[in-house]
């Protein structure tokens, strides 16, 4: 390393320093010893070679004077406006080379001196006399340009100033040129924008919004936002086709190791009265992970149940819908329906009047009650009626005080104490049904939940304690019990429900009547023989339903007591000749019962090596969902697709957007 004593304002010194700094491999990490930061200068010849040697010949001539034997050139500034500085010079062209360059320029000054001088002679000298150094410098410069590096200028130890590489002439002309729509870089952004439209249910008009265009212009100035027509007719169909092929591959893979269960439902769009039919496929993979894929179709038949029964498949009704039929029928009993209608009228008054709602909120503050809004029920969800009654009881004091303060309000009458008591008894009676509805609405709830919860509900209704706590709605209780027995009779004879319950380590045989044990065993053995040619692998699942099940409350412990009472039933032991599947079954039935807040899929992960035949059957019968909740949630998103800004969306495009909305996250955007 050699040093020089240079002039701070000297143009040649600053140019040389800039050249050396921009072409050092270590200049970004090693601090400079200069006393003052120099203004970086970056010039480039027309061919893009990074040689910053723009300097006045006077400065170069001045630089070469007063050589010293120690290699340091020390000069005293001849003018008062020049301040001497001490710097380190590190470069690929060593100090002797620089001396030769400047000496040559000093001797052959053909282009004038001072401001009239140019760098052509100096550049030509470097090319001719120092060819190797020039080539190395040119290669390094091109390498840095190809990597889009931004060299950092050497500064004092107290500060660091970034110095950007100056654009080439070609880059300057093309910096503002937009990418073509078919450019590979533009296609990548097209795909991401299409995914955003599908995931966030955005309208196509978003592409023309000023805010979105400004954002894209800042993030990617070269990206040209496509038109709405191009996005809807080219980009989204391409993404849809790729995702659809990926889903097909996943389902084909699932069919190779297990069976696939399908849920379906019908939805009609209120904007255009188009009907859609949903399909969701459910299976357990080799690792016992629950998987689901969704699709929507606008072509559907009037009677879905008949269509399934006429096909080769076996169809079962939605457990939650069947449960709703039973509860709705009981709510129509005279003692209950009149009181619920009166409560519904009061709730409707507050939901239709902002003034009434504001007064109610003020009363809640004065009485220090939770500032909750009253819930209005809907006819398609029985549990919404349950939530309406429960919230009314919570806000009883506020509601009564409001009605007292506003006696002239038409069609608003105070509820009597007996009516309030009937509402409380309805909550007591229906609380277990609400819990079962919530549990079976889980995305991991399967048909193994049906028999245990149905038998537990029937046992709960038969308890004398329930009749004693609900004396005013005895008819409603009796009606509810009869409806449950009517809608769910013969469940234990159905092999899908019975074997799924048997293969759930939380339930096993404990929820069946003893006379059904032999029938269920024989059914299991027969299914094992039928499916003996299917090979399966071990599995695991990371999810469980503990959050839902842990929310049961003390006033309804009697229901879960009935559940535990059934779960503690021990099946009779048999002593007949054993086949391999029979030996596995007997050992499996002697295992400790898994607690109800644990996942059966996770249990089978660790026990498949011990029970390979049972695990193979478990993968088949545990994958069927108990309800069509997944399909209904699919259509709740479809309602967002056909919102005000997209009410003219074609059915085919609506199908594509709903399909992408649900399946892109399931595929982890890998397609």
Listing DSSP states for 206-239 in one string gives: GGG-HHHHHHHHHH-TTPPPPPHHHIIIIIHHHH
Whether the per-residue pLDDT at 499 is higher than 60: the answer is yes
pTM of the model: 0.64
Residue 194, helix vs strand vs coil? helix
Sign of CA dihedral 435, 441, 444, 448: positive
- Give residue 75's pLDDT band: very low, low, confident or very high (50, 70, 90): very low
Residue showing tokens 């100090």: 95
Highest mean pLDDT out of 13-27, 272-286, 290-304, 351-365: 351-365
Residue 29 CA to chain centroid, in angstroms? Answer: 41
Spatial contact of 129 and 5, defined as CB atoms under 8 Å apart = no
Whether the per-residue pLDDT at 234 is higher than 90: the answer is yes
- Give residue 638's pLDDT band: very low, low, confident or very high (50, 70, 90): low
Residue 578: CB atoms within 10 Å: 12
Whether the per-residue pLDDT at 617 is higher than 50: the answer is yes
Helices 450-461 and 557-567: angle between axes, nearest 10 degrees: 120
Alpha-carbon gap, residue 457 to 589, rounded angstroms? 24
Q: Which residue has the higher pLDDT, 15 or 468?
A: 468
Alpha-carbon gap, residue 45 to 433, rounded angstroms? 83
pLDDT above 90 as % of the chain: 29
Q: With b meaning 16 or more CB within 10 Å and e meaning fewer, what string describes 175-190?
A: eeeebeeeeeebeebb
Judged by average pLDDT, the poorest of 15-24, 171-180, 265-274, 319-328 is 15-24
Alpha-carbon gap, residue 338 to 473, rounded angstroms? 12
- Give residue 407's pLDDT band: very low, low, confident or very high (50, 70, 90): confident
The pLDDT assigned to 434 comes to: 93
Residue 78: CB atoms within 10 Å: 8
Residue 366: CB atoms within 10 Å: 10
What phi and psi values does residue 577 have, to the nearest 5 degrees? -55, 140
Condensed to tens digits (0 to 9), the pLDDT of residues 621-636 reads: 888 888 888 887 777 7
The pLDDT assigned to 514 comes to: 81
Judged by average pLDDT, the poorest of 249-253, 297-301, 352-356, 397-401 is 297-301
Alpha-carbon gap, residue 635 to 267, rounded angstroms? 7
Question: How buried is 434 (Cβ within 10 angstroms: 0-12 exposed, 13-18 middle, 19+ buried)?
Answer: middle
Spatial contact of 466 and 433, defined as CB atoms under 8 Å apart = no
The pLDDT assigned to 18 comes to: 52
Spatial contact of 206 and 212, defined as CB atoms under 8 Å apart = yes
Whether the per-residue pLDDT at 400 is higher than 80: the answer is yes
Condensed to tens digits (0 to 9), the pLDDT of residues 335-353 reads: 899 999 999 999 999 999 9
Q: Which residue has the higher pLDDT, 164 or 249?
A: 249
Alpha-carbon gap, residue 520 to 527, rounded angstroms? 11
Q: Which residue has the higher pLDDT, 260 or 258?
A: 260
Q: Which of 622, 598, 626 is nearest to 503 (CA)?
A: 622
The pLDDT assigned to 265 comes to: 80
Q: Which of 637, 666, 655 is nearest to 201 (CA)?
A: 637
Listing DSSP states for 535-592 in one string gives: -----------HHHHTT--GGGHHHHHHHHHHHTPPPPP--S---HHHHHHHHHHTSP
The arithmetic mean of pLDDT across residues 89-117, rounded, is: 44
- Give residue 424's pLDDT band: very low, low, confident or very high (50, 70, 90): very high
């Amino acid at each position: 390393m050699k040093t020089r004593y240079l002039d701070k304002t000297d143009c040649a010194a600053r140019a040389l320093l800039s050249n050396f700094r921009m072409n050092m491999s270590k200049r970004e990490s090693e601090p400079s010893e200069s006393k003052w930061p120099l203004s970086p200068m970056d010039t480039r010849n027309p061919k893009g070679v990074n040689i910053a040697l723009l300097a006045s010949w006077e400065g170069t001539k001045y630089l070469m004077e007063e050589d010293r034997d120690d290699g340091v050139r020390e000069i005293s500034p001849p003018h008062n406006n020049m301040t001497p500085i001490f710097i380190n010079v590190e470069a690929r062209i060593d100090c002797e080379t620089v001396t030769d360059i400047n000496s040559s320029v000093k001797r052959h000054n053909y282009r004038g001196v001072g401001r009239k001088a140019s760098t052509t002679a100096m550049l030509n000298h470097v090319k001719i006399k120092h060819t190797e150094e020039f080539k190395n410098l040119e290669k390094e410069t091109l390498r840095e340009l190809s990597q889009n590096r931004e060299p950092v200028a050497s500064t004092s130890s107290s500060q660091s100033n970034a110095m950007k590489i100056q654009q080439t002439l070609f880059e300057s002309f093309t910096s503002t040129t937009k990418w073509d729509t078919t450019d590979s870089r533009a296609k990548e952004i097209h795909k991401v924008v299409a995914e955003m439209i599908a995931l966030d249910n955005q309208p196509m008009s978003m592409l023309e919004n000023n805010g979105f265009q400004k954002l894209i212009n800042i993030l990617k100035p070269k990206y040209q936002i496509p038109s709405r027509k191009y996005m809807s007719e080219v980009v989204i169909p391409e993404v849809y086709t790729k995702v659809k092929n990926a889903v097909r591959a996943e389902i084909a893979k699932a069919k190779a190791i297990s069976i696939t269960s399908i849920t379906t439902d019908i939805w009609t769009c209120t904007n255009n009265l188009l009907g859609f039919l949903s399909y969701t496929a459910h299976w357990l993979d080799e690792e016992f992970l629950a998987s689901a894929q969704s699709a929507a179709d606008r072509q559907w038949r009037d009677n879905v149940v008949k269509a399934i029964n006429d096909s080769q498949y076996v169809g079962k009704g939605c457990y939650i819908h069947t449960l709703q039929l039973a509860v709705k029928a009981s709510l129509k009993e005279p003692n209950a329906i009149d009181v619920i209608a009166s409560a519904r009228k009061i709730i409707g008054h507050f939901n239709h009047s902002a003034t009434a709602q504001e007064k109610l909120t003020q009363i809640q503050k004065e009485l220090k009650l939770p500032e909750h809004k009253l819930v209005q029920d809907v006819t398609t969800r029985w549990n919404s009626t349950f939530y309406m009654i429960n919230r009314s009881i919570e806000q009883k004091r506020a509601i009564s005080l409001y009605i007292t303060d506003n006696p002239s309000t038409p069609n608003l009458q105070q509820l009597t104490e007996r009516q309030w008591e009937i509402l409380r008894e309805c909550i007591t009676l229906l609380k277990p049904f609400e819990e079962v509805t919530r549990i079976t609405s889980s995305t991991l709830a399967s048909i193994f939940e049906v028999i245990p919860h149905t038998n537990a509900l029937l046992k709960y209704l038969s308890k004398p304690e329930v009749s004693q706590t609900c004396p005013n709605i005895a008819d409603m209780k009796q009606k509810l019990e009869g409806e449950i027995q009517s809608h769910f009779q013969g469940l234990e004879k159905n092999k899908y429900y019975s074997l799924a319950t048997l293969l759930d380590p939380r339930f096993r045989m404990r929820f069946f009547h003893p006379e059904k044990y032999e029938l269920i065993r024989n059914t299991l053995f027969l299914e094992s023989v039928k499916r003996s040619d299917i090979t399966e692998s071990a599995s695991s699942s990371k999810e469980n339903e503990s959050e839902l099940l842990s929310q049961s409350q003390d006033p309804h412990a009697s229901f879960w007591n009935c559940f535990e009472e059934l779960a503690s039933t021990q099946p009779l032991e048999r002593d007949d000749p054993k086949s391999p599947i029979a030996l596995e079954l007997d050992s499996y039935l002697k295992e400790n019962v898994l607690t109800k807040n644990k996942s059966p899929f996770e249990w089978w992960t660790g026990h498949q090596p011990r029970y390979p035949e049972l695990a193979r059957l478990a993968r088949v019968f545990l994958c069927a969902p108990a309800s069509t909740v997944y399909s209904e949630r699919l259509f709740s998103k479809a309602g967002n697709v056909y919102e005000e800004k997209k009410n003219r969306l074609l059915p085919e495009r609506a199908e594509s957007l709903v399909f992408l909305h649900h399946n892109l996250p399931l595929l982890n955007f890998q397609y």
